[in-house]
């Protein structure tokens, strides 16, 4: 089956389950999946039951799709995403974004845990732009003309109006929301200190192993994007060692702010 047929098959499957009018997609990163638990009138489906869908293998990622009402909006939330480092082809990593588009979403909120280059642990950062150092591009191959052009513009991939609303909402809530450039790598190794020094020179504020592929596919198909990074650690060389336990622990600490912020932003988008 070609990619377009797969997208249509999965979209139809989800429509048949009652997922009919999502306005926003929510991609919830490491430790941030709890927000899906607050969705009302929820339709919840295990990834394993969705045709053409990937499998989530990382600790802190539940592997469920949840549809329903959050902050007065119809959202389609992914509790756990697919990473390239898990061995998923880019087509699988970005498939949920295609399906969100096919179902009629107008925007996506993409979240992640990231290492801080400019900012320290516990910071929430609105992503203003990215640097793709994955060595990959999910749009390589035949272009899906139904979704967008062969050579998509990435000038406003992280939609400015969404970001401005996010800052206004954060200010109202008293949440300190920073802003910066997300540099995407494949992982699964954390970076070396030399790499982080190089990334700092390149203009990175934070570094992480997700988000870039999904945002490229979103931009291609005209989906508006709000990206939020939860900075869970200082990047390599700025602290003595890195481990996933710390990432999960810091996310635990900031998730209340995170959840409150995303809900309040959703109400305003």
Q: By CB under 6 A, name the binding residues for ligand HPA.
A: 113-115, 190-191, 207-209, 232-233, 235, 242, 247
Contacts of 46 (CB under 8 A, 6+ apart): 63, 64
Chain center to CA of 265: 15
Q: Which is nearer to ligand HPA, 159 or 229 (CB)?
A: 229
Q: Which of the following is catalytic: 86, 100, 158, 220?
A: 86
Q: How far is the CB of 121 from ligand HPA (least distance, A)?
A: 9
Annotated active-site residue 218? The verdict is no
Q: Which of the following is catalytic: 113, 170, 204, 219?
A: 113
Q: How far is the CB of 238 from ligand HPA (least distance, A)?
A: 9
Q: Any idea of the CA torsion for 168, 223, 36, 204, to the nearest 10 degrees?
A: -60
DSSP letter at 7 equals H
Helix (H, G, I), strand (E, B) or coil at 259: helix
Q: How far is the CB of 198 from ligand HPA (least distance, A)?
A: 14
Q: Which is nearer to ligand HPA, 103 or 114 (CB)?
A: 114
Q: Which of the following is catalytic: 30, 56, 112, 229?
A: 30
String of DSSP letters for 43-111: EEEEGGGSTT-----STT---EEEEEEETTEEEEEEES---GGGT--HHHHHHHHHHHHHTT--EEEEE
Q: Which of the following is catalytic: 36, 61, 204, 236?
A: 61
Annotated active-site residue 130? The verdict is no
Any binding-site annotation on 214? no
Any binding-site annotation on 61? yes
Cα 211 to Cα 231: distance, rounded to the nearest angstrom: 14
**Minimal CB distance residue for ligand HPA:** 115
Structure tokens at 48: 């394993």
Cα 46 to Cα 53: distance, rounded to the nearest angstrom: 10
Q: Which is nearer to ligand HPA, 148 or 184 (CB)?
A: 184
Q: Which residues are annotated as a binding site?
A: 30, 61, 81-83, 113, 191, 210, 233
Q: Which residues are annotated as a binding site for phosphate?
A: 30, 61, 81-83, 113, 210
Catalytic machinery residues: 30, 61, 83, 85-86, 113, 209-210, 233, 244
């Amino acid at each position: 089956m070609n990619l377009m047929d797969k997208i249509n098959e999965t979209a139809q499957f989800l429509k048949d389950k009652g997922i009919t009018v999502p306005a926003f997609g929510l991609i919830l990163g490491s430790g941030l999946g709890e927000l899906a638990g607050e969705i009302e009138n929820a339709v919840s489906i295990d990834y394993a039951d969705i045709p053409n869908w990937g499998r989530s293998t990382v600790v802190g990622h539940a592997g469920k799709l949840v549809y329903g009402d959050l902050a007065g909006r119809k959202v389609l939330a992914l509790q756990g995403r697919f990473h390239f480092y898990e061995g998923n082809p880019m087509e699988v990593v970005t498939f949920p974004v295609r399906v969100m588009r096919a179902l009629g979403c107008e925007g996506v909120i993409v979240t992640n845990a990231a290492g801080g280059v400019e900012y320290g642990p516990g910071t929430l950062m609105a992503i203003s732009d990215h640097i793709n150092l994955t060595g990959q591009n999910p749009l390589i191959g035949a272009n899906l003309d139904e979704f967008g052009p062969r050579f998509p513009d990435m000038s406003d991939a992280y939609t400015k109006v969404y970001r401005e609303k996010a800052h206004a909402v954060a200010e109202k809530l008293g949440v300190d929301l920073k802003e910066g450039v997300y540099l995407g790598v494949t992982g699964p190794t954390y970076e070396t200190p030399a790499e982080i020094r190089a990334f700092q020179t390149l203009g990175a504020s934070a570094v992480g192993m997700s988000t870039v592929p999904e945002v490229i596919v979103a931009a291609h198909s005209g989906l508006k994007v709000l990206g939020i990074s939860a900075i869970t650690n200082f990047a390599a060389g700025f602290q003595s060692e890195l481990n996933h336990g710390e990432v999960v622990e810091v996310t635990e600490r900031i998730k209340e702010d995170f959840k409150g912020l995303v809900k309040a932003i959703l109400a305003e988008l």
